[in-house]
Structure formats: C-alpha cells, structure tokens
C-alpha cells in the first residue's frame, strides 16, 4: 500500500530541511488529516501486516492540476488579465516539483522502496510565492500590475523543505527544473 502524503505533516521549518525521521507537527487541518492517514496506514502494517510505504511530497504542479491551485489559477488569471491574489507579502516558501518527476518517484518507491519506510520527494527548487507569481507573469507576458496582495490565510506556514537523500539513494532525481516545468504548465493551460 502506498500512502501519498505531504511535506505539510512536518509543520514549518524556517532553516534546514525535514528528514523522514523528524516528528510530525501538522499546523493546519489539512496537514493534520494527512498525518492521521500516515499513522493509520502504519497501524494497518503493524496490526494486519499490510505492506505500507509512505511518501511525503513537496508542492506538485503541472498539467491537469485542479484549477484552484496556485500555478494553474495564476496562469489562467494572468492570461485573462485578472488579478493574481498573493497571500500576505508573498514571502512564504515552497519547494516545487513537476508532476512527472513526482510520478517517477512514486513508481520507484512502489517498486524498490522498503516496506515500512517513509520517503521524502522534493526538488530543492525553493521559491517564494511572489517569485512563482512573477515567473508566471513573465512566462505569460503579463504585467506585474496584476499582483494583488491579500490578507494571509490562517495557518499559512512560512516554509517547507525536504531532505531527499533517502529517495536519491534509490537512484531518483528530478529531471525537470522549476522553469522547465513551468514552461510545460503554461503551454498546457494556455493551449
């Protein structure tokens, strides 16, 4: 059984990265439910010998993503000349991974991951929300005037970042830079 989780289960980290051995410290309801699912999966392994592997992935992006997510929403808004609502001052940092890289990592963990283990999946491509917004505006050819700073949302962690040495030891590494992935995403959403 592959439990696909999120880096949010660790809470925020202002410096450094989270390893798979760090304690869970979810700080919002979404992250708490994902942490609960991780614990539930582990309990089935312990109680019923269900073979379980858990992945904790950074922010995915790419084609076919739900349109309310930051990157597809901002691409479509920018192309339509509509505002791009950036929470707070845009300084929140996320590690972005292109969807095809994440899928390759999931496949590798399913085939070669050790039962009972957790694998962080990330790209080391850390960007502030404002940097992502500006990259989208540049890729679409839209003006920075479309940026609209809005009140920060409750429970909005400042930064997530993952130590990915464990999955890299299986031979995995991302194939797409943030910029390459963004170019593909823009092409998809504007086609």
- The pLDDT of residue 149: 98
**pLDDT value of position 165:** 98
169 DSSP assignment: T
CATH number of the domain bearing residue 179:
3.40.50.720
SS3 label, residue 93: strand
Q: Is 7 a catalytic residue?
A: yes
Q: Specify the 3-state DSSP secondary structure of 71.
A: helix
Model pLDDT, residue 23:
98
pLDDT at res. 87: 96
* pLDDT at site 154: 86
What is the reported pLDDT for 155?
A: 83
Give pLDDT < 70 ranges for the chain.
Answer: none
**119 is annotated as an active-site residue:** no
Is 188 labeled as catalytic in the residue annotation? no
Range of the domain at 109: 2-190
pLDDT at position 88 is: 95
Q: Which of 10, 20, 22, 30 is catalytic?
A: 30
Q: Taking phi first (over 0 means left), then psi (-120 to 50 degrees means alpha), and beta for anything else, what does residue 16 get?
A: left
Provide the number of structural domains found in the chain: 1
CB 26 within 8 A of CB 32: yes
């Amino acid at each position: 059984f592959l439990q696909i989780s999120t880096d949010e289960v660790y809470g925020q980290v202002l410096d450094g990265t989270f390893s798979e051995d760090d304690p869970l410290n979810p700080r919002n309801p979404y992250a708490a439910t994902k942490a609960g699912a991780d614990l539930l999966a582990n309990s089935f392994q312990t109680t019923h010998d269900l073979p379980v592997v858990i992945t904790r992935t950074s922010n995915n992006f790419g084609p076919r993503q739900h349109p309310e997510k930051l990157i597809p929403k901002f691409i479509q808004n920018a192309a339509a000349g509509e505002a791009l609502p950036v929470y707070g001052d845009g300084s929140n940092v996320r590690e972005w991974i292109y969807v095809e890289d994440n899928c390759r990592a999931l496949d590798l963990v399913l085939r070669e991951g050790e039962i009972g283990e957790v694998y962080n999946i990330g790209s080391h491509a850390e960007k502030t929300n404002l940097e992502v917004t500006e990259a989208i505006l540049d890729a679409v050819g839209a003006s920075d005037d479309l940026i609209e700073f809005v009140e920060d949302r409750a429970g909005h962690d400042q930064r997530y970042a993952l130590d990915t040495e464990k999955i890299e030891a299986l031979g995995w590494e991302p194939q797409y830079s943030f910029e390459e992935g963004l170019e593909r995403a823009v092409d998809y959403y504007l086609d």
